[in-house]
Amino acid sequence: MKLLNIYYQFASFFQNRILKKRIVFDQYRENNGSLNALLYYKIEPFVNPLSIKNYHHTNNREILEIVKILNKLGFNVDIIDRNAEVKDFKKLKKHYHLFIGLGAGNSGKNFKKLAEKYPKALKLLYAAGPEPELSNQLIIERYEYFSERHNGKQLSYRRMITEFKFDEFAGVSDAFIVIGNIFTIESYKKYQKPIYPIFPSSSPKIKFKQTIDPKQQTKFLYFGGNGNLVKGLDLLIEVFHQLPELELHICAPTNETDFYTFYDSMLKASPNIAFHGFITPGEKKYNELAELCGFVILPSCSEGMATSVTTCMRSGLIPVVTYEAGIDTGDFGFLLENYRTEYLSEKLKHISKISFEEFTIRAQKTFRESEKFTISGFELTFNEAIKQSLQDFSINI
């Protein structure tokens, strides 16, 4: 395993050297189509094959599928990396029929400039999260709640979108491709432009848990990326600290020093809370936790469609999420209608005491629902979104 990690690190270093030298990956295609498309996203999956295999980020495989779908529709595709600068634009073609680009997060800072460079192209803004202005408001609200609970204490703000004014991006867009459910979709409706929803994918390495056991009913898995306060990890640590009969297993990056310094004493005083660091879906540690736990919990305030949750659903972990996590809980999961700690405490006690029969049924239904969160589900919804947008804007293929 150590040798494999060293290999990944070396590959990542080599990849970064390539990215600095070549921002545009020109004409990845399987045909000689007459239409040209420009994708503003990441070129990583084309210069580092390991990024597709290790599934640290599912969007690498999704990018590859986007290009293949466009190829099959007759488009020659150029990809410009999200880290590109204006000087790199000179490497692009003079004309594109279709432009798809990141535009709802800080990594899509050049969306407007690229969209204005190609005024005749159909311009589709690719949004993996909720509308940025709303997202920022929700994040500020969570930080204020933390401060309210801890005598004015403040931690560093994370995941705030500050690189651009989104209304300007929306203004140069023809339509939006949005990863998410009704929460995410509704957040963009104020711009009065077509919205094409799609589903995210998950690692094919993930399998349904081998056993469903009553012991799993008191064990919850938090599986999140950067932005601990945004995703509600602070709330969970405080709640589980007061609920020793329940267990919380935390899988998260370790780089938010101020956060972990603040909660260090509480974590040490909570034997029912275990920290596992960053783990890769489908690998041994993940599989062990999927067998151990019954629920995946994410009281987040701002997600497009939380892929950390959809990933765990593939293992049969029942989702316990806020509305803003972007997950439809249906009759299988649990919706957290409030993020206040008092509410969460009572809700989790209730969830942990459901009958084993209900627990089993919900786990099985969760897995069936998760079938849509596969690479096949992504391909299907993205293909439908592109075809519908081309039809709506009268682009013949």
Residue 48 pLDDT > 90: no
User: pLDDT-derived band of residue 25, with 50, 70 and 90 as boundaries?
Assistant: low
Candidate from 21-30, 103-112, 164-173, 360-369 with smallest mean pLDDT:
21-30
User: pLDDT-derived band of residue 230, with 50, 70 and 90 as boundaries?
Assistant: very high
pLDDT at 29: 56
DSSP labels, 268-329: HT-TTEEE--S--TTSHHHHHHHHH-SEEEE--S--SS-HHHHHHHTTTPEEEEEGGG----
Give 124-138 pLDDT, tens digit per residue.
Answer: 999 999 999 999 999
The residue-averaged pLDDT of 276-281 equals 92
Q: Which two tokens stand for residue 288?
A: 């062990």
pLDDT at 201: 94
Candidate from 67-71, 212-216, 344-348, 360-364 with smallest mean pLDDT:
67-71
Task: Name the residue type at position 180.
Answer: G
- Domain residues of the chain, as ranges? 18-201+375-392, 214-372
Give 89-127 pLDDT, tens digit per residue.
Answer: 888 988 999 999 999 888 888 999 999 999 999 999 999
pLDDT at 6: 47
User: pLDDT-derived band of residue 311, with 50, 70 and 90 as boundaries?
Assistant: very high
pLDDT at 23: 54
The residue-averaged pLDDT of 279-299 equals 95
Give the CA distances from residue 95 to residues 37, 117, 259, in Å, rounded to whole numbers and listed in that order. Answer: 9, 9, 47
Q: Are 202 and 57 in contact (CB under 8 A)?
A: no
pLDDT at 104: 86
Q: Would the CATH topology of 18-201+375-392 be identical to that of 214-372? A: yes
Residue 4 pLDDT > 90: no
pLDDT at 31: 57
Residue 12 pLDDT > 80: no
What are the backbone angles phi and psi of residue 80, rounded to the nearest 5°? -115, 135
Residue 8 pLDDT > 50: no
Q: Which two tokens stand for residue 290?
A: 């999927």
Model confidence, pTM: 0.90
* 82, burial (CB in 10 Å: exposed 0-12, middle 13-18, buried 19+): buried
Give the CA distances from residue 118 to residues 34, 37, 121, 270, 381, in Å, rounded to whole numbers and listed in that order. Answer: 17, 11, 6, 56, 26
pLDDT at 30: 56
Q: Classify 392 as helix, strand or coil.
A: helix
User: pLDDT-derived band of residue 20, with 50, 70 and 90 as boundaries?
Assistant: very low
Q: Which of 64, 19, 57 is nearest to 39 (CA)?
A: 64
Its CATH class, for the domain covering 214-372, is alpha beta
- The topology (CATH level 3) of 18-201+375-392 is Rossmann fold (3.40.50)
The residue-averaged pLDDT of 232-249 equals 98
DSSP labels, 60-88: HHHHHHHHHHHHHTTEEEEEEETT--GGG
Q: Are 138 and 324 in contact (CB under 8 A)?
A: yes
Residue 54 pLDDT > 80: no
pLDDT at 322: 98
Q: Are 35 and 75 in contact (CB under 8 A)?
A: yes
Q: Which of 30, 41, 50 is nearest to 101 (CA)?
A: 41
